[in-house]
Amino acid sequence: MAQLAKLVGNEFALARAEMSDKAGQVGRAAAMIGAGAVVMIPALVVLLFAAATALIRSGLSDPIAYLCAGGGAAVIAGILIAVGLNRLSGEAMKPSITLQQVEKDKIAAREMVR
């Protein structure tokens, strides 16, 4: 019984450590999303003006050229947001090491009871 209590205590310690690691992962992902947004905004504005100017010079009307440039920017923004959200998905945040260890411990506990 003492071994089982120690085992449960170790599992809680492992779960705490893994959740702390996952929280750090969330923080780093959020920081990357924020930093990417801050750096991307001025660069994107300049690139959009350049793209719209190139489209205008190639013969498109001003509104159509700006619409095409803005649409391209929306696609890029969607990709960046999807990557950030993927890093925050439930599967990425699942404490998989702890769950695997709990399964092993359940088997070990059954063996100890027998």
Question: Using one digit for the tens of pLDDT, what is the confidence trace for 84-95?
Answer: 888 777 676 677
**CB of 36 within 8 A of CB of 80?**
yes
Domain count, the chain: 1
| pLDDT of res. 62 | 93
Q: Which domain holds residue 47?
A: 2-113
What confidence score (pLDDT) does residue 104 get? Answer: 79
From residue 95, how far is each of 22, 77, 92 by CA, in Å? 8, 30, 8
The 10s digit of each residue's pLDDT in 7-57 is 777 877 887 888 888 888 888 888 998 998 898 889 889 989 999 999 999
0.75 surpassed by pTM: no
Q: Residue 58's pLDDT band (boundaries 50, 70, 90)?
A: very high
- pLDDT of 66 > 80? The answer is yes
More confident residue, 97 or 42: 42
Q: Sign of dihedral through CA atoms 66, 69, 73, 79? A: positive
